[in-house]
Amino acid sequence: MIDYVKELNDEQRSAIDHDGNVYLVACPGSGKTRTLVYKLAKELEASSSSKKKIAAITYTNVAADEIKERIVDLGVDTSALWIGTIHSFCLDWILRPFSQYIKQLEHGFTVVDNHTSEEIITSLCAKYSNPQISYFDCGYFLDTQGVKLSCGQGKVGSVLSVITQYHIILSKNKQIDFEQILHYAYVLITRYPDISKSLSGIFKHILLDEFQDTKELQYQIISSIIRAGEGHSNIFIVGDPNQSIFGSLGGYAITIDDLRRLTEQKIEQFELEKNYRSSTRIVEYCKNFRVYESNMVSDSKYKDHAGIISYSTSIHKDHLVEEISRLIRHHIEALEVSPNEICVVAPWWIHLASLTRGLVNRLPEYSFDGPGLTPIYRDRENFWYRLSRLLLTTPSPNIYFKRLFWARDLLQAMSELDLCEHSLRDKDLLRIVNSIDLNEQDGLQYLCHAFEVFSLKVGFSINDTPSLQEQLDAFVTSSTRRIERIRSEGIDYAGSIKDFRKAFIPKSGVKISSIHGVKGEEYETVITFGLLDGMVPHFTDTDKSNTAKKLLYVIASRAKRHLHLIAETGRRNSPTPSLHNLNYLTYDQV
């Protein structure tokens, strides 16, 4: 049995001990994931004598894997646990069982992969020249009212036309994308209330991580299940409204009153206020950017460290590599900060790729974990990506459970495609993968050969399943393009099997990340640039002040001790007003 008194603080225990519905607001560094893990463990231990399941819905598949690994490490039986993203939940429990009730899906469907989706939209965009639009203009999401676009007002007509044509093409191909997964799941539970009633009988608890990034349709789907349970299914949602930075994708932090209205249930609010990550100085600085009045108090081992907080508006964009190199070297050599504890952050990936190349050239003695340095086509829904994870990782006791999870994930995909006997188990699958021993040195050739060997050993033909061939084509084409791009950027890369295996080896060195990509992480030193109006926030954002504050809050709250903020010159943009107009009098000179 787990000693919850020993493992959790009073705030965390109060939240997980509550028997009803919980709305948990967790400040940065407060042990949000830890609390979620122990809540799951507690409910799983209590459900051992029940046939009901526990669902945990995470924002990413990576988060789902991490949480499940931590629960397994606690020694808790996970047989009653379902964990994954909301899209996986909708596919597993709503669309696949009930798709025959939707005309557009009644003859079957597949989920279009990101590569194919991008190709379709890019080809459609090529027809428009006034204004010219690209794939990156065509971000959209669906809510209860229809299509919502993230592009600038001047491109709305063209982008809407592209999205309409895109949906027609998907329909002809019997495909749906991730937004349509949510849309059709919502349509089903709205038209057929018995679906929600049935799911409320299956799930005793639904836990939702990162609620501040959740979309309207997701709230509607989950709430309908809780509402149908009439008190027999509970919800436990956790997040931080101050970190709600996916508004352009439809994410927002629901209020407790709105959640009560949707679920028609009593819900109690709890807060985690102790920050175990950052110094008091960093915590107090973060508070300048709150848009939601939650409390936060440092209880970190760095609590009384003065650290460094600097803000520069004098560095020209052409000198960013030189300046950031200087800061990195200063922290490693003078302040004895480990390279793994340093993160460089910017709002857009496009600025990070060139910066990474510059830092690698200027600081050859240090390693960097940056964008675009892996040849692998990362699409969790792609069958061959799932298999690649197993083929490219070396069996080891340290990652046995991780590979076992991956094997189960692959088995589920194989079962859905009717590729294997039901008697095949996860351990059998691992043995098959581990037995594949090839001599190819080219990474992509190795994988393609391994895919053929695997299919022969399991007993299926790639050519007999059109969706498998389509996914293989997407995997190979996208990986080939990534390899070409890496080589064109002058990065020392040969495309060998060794290079491919590195994709699944934990990265080390100075981290390079976008603001959105750094959420949930923590570092002793955070260095950020691009803090300019139109970049923080994006120029298409309609709630500029609040979005800028949330982005700055996320950046600042990643730091344990040191924070460097740069609004460089040489671009058309002026410094972000939410930062530049801040009356902070104690910035440091470095």
Q: For the segment 505-546, what is each residue's pLDDT rounded down to a tens digit? A: 877 899 999 999 999 999 999 999 999 999 999 888 889 999
pLDDT band at 554 (very low <50, low <70, confident <90, very high): very high
At residue 122, does pLDDT exceed 70? yes
Nearest-5° angle of CA 577, CA 581, CA 585?
145
Quick check: 176 and 109 in contact, CB under 8 A? yes
Buried b (16+ CB within 10 A) or exposed e, 169-202: bbeeeebbbbbbbbbbbbbbbeeeeebbbebbee
Question: What is the third-level CATH fold of 280-370+507-580?
Answer: Rossmann fold (3.40.50)
Q: Are 67 and 58 in contact (CB under 8 A)?
A: yes
**CATH architecture classification, 4-95+185-272:** 3-Layer(aba) Sandwich (3.40)
**303, 236, 238, 234: which is closest to 272 by C-alpha?**
238
- Alpha carbons 386 and 540: distance in angstroms, whole number: 35
Tell me where in the chain the CATH 3.40.50.300 domain(s) lie: 4-95+185-272, 280-370+507-580
Please classify residue 403 by burial: count the beta carbons closer than 10 Å to its beta carbon, then call 0-12 exposed, 13-18 middle and 19+ buried: buried
Per-residue model confidence (pLDDT) at position 289: 98
* DSSP character at residue 567: -
pLDDT at 464: 87
CB of 352 closer than 8 Å to CB of 346: yes
pLDDT of 493 > 80? The answer is: no
Phi, psi at 336, each rounded to 5°: 60, 40
pLDDT at 487: 73
pLDDT, position 495: 78
Q: How confident is the model at residue 113 (pLDDT cuts 50, 70, 90)?
A: confident
Q: What is the pLDDT of residue 379?
A: 79
What mean pLDDT, rounded, does the chain reach? 93
Q: Is 441 helix (H, G, I), strand (E, B) or coil?
A: coil
In this prediction, residue 49 carries a pLDDT of 63
Q: Tokens in use for 255?
A: 């209020």
Q: Is 439 left (phi over 0), alpha (psi -120 to 50) or beta?
A: alpha
Give the separation between CA 356 and CA 321, rounded to whole angstroms.
9
pLDDT score at 227: 98
H or E element at residue 109: none
Tell whether the model's pLDDT for residue 372 goes beyond 90.
Answer: no
User: In this prediction, what percent of the chain has a pLDDT beyond 70?
Assistant: 98
Which residue, chain included where needed, has tokens 């209020």?
255
> How many angstroms separate the first and last alpha carbons of the chain?
50
Give the DSSP letter string of 2-60. --HHHHS-HHHHHHHH-SSEEEEEE-TTS-HHHHHHHHHHHHHHHTTT-S-EEEEEESS
How confident is the model at residue 76, as a pLDDT? 93
Task: Determine what percent of the chain is predicted with pLDDT higher than 90.
Answer: 77
pLDDT at 475 over 80: yes
pLDDT digits (tens, 9 = 90+) for 406-430: 998 899 889 888 887 777 888 999 9
Band the pLDDT of 261: cuts 50, 70, 90. very high
pLDDT band at 373 (very low <50, low <70, confident <90, very high): low
Above 80 in pLDDT, residue 488?
Answer: no
Note the pLDDT tens digit of each residue in 198-238.
999 999 999 999 999 999 999 999 999 999 999 999 999 99
pTM of the predicted structure, to 2 decimals: 0.88
Residue 133: both structure tokens together: 């639009």
Q: What is the pLDDT of residue 402?
A: 84
d(CA 391, CA 410): 12
Q: Please report the pLDDT score of residue 498 as a whole number.
A: 86
Could you tell me what percentage of the chain is helix, strand and coil, using 3-state DSSP and rounding each to the nearest 5?
50, 15, 35
Find which of 60-74, 471-485, 570-584 is predicted with most confidence, using mean pLDDT.
Answer: 570-584
Q: What is the DSSP letter of 93?
A: I
| Pairing mode, strands 140-143 and 146-149 | antiparallel
pLDDT of residue 164: 97
What is the per-residue pLDDT for 371?
Answer: 65
Q: Would the pLDDT of 133 be above 90?
A: yes
Which pLDDT belongs to residue 303? 97
Which residues fall within 8 angstroms of residue 131, CB to CB, at 6 or more apart? Answer: 154, 155, 158
What is the predicted pLDDT for the residue at 564? 99
